[in-house]
Amino acid sequence: MTKDVKVLGPGCKRCQTTAEMVKTEAERLGVAIDLEKVTDYAAIAGYGIASTPGIVVDGKVVHAGGLPKAEDIAAWLSA
């Protein structure tokens, strides 16, 4: 089963790093993901996120603001 993952943010360095962290953890866990970078401010606001980067897994916001921890990403992808 493929997880739908969205990284929300304007494309800043932290957002790029977050997307790479998600890819790395998915590969490490052997979890198939469909990764999308959402840069449209209206779309980001639609998720109720005020600070970026944000992460949405299967339609649920799991993180907003700052770099996430690798172990948190692993938990979100494994759930």
What average pLDDT does the segment 56-73 reach?
97
Helix (H, G, I), strand (E, B) or coil at 69: coil
pLDDT at 1: 85
pLDDT tens per residue across span 31-60:
999 999 999 999 999 999 989 999 999 999
Rg, Å, the chain Cα set: 11
* Short-list 24, 20, 19, CA closest to 55: 19
pLDDT at 3: 97
Separation of alpha carbons 67 and 30, rounded Å: 22
> Which CATH fold topology does 3-78 show?
Glutaredoxin (3.40.30)
Q: Residues 28, 19: contact at Cβ < 8 Å?
A: no
Q: How sure is the predictor about 69, in pLDDT bands with cuts at 50, 70 and 90?
A: very high
pLDDT tens per residue across span 17-29:
999 999 999 999 9
Query: Could you tell me the residue ranges of all domains in the chain?
Result: 3-78
Helix (H) or strand (E) holding 55: strand 54-57
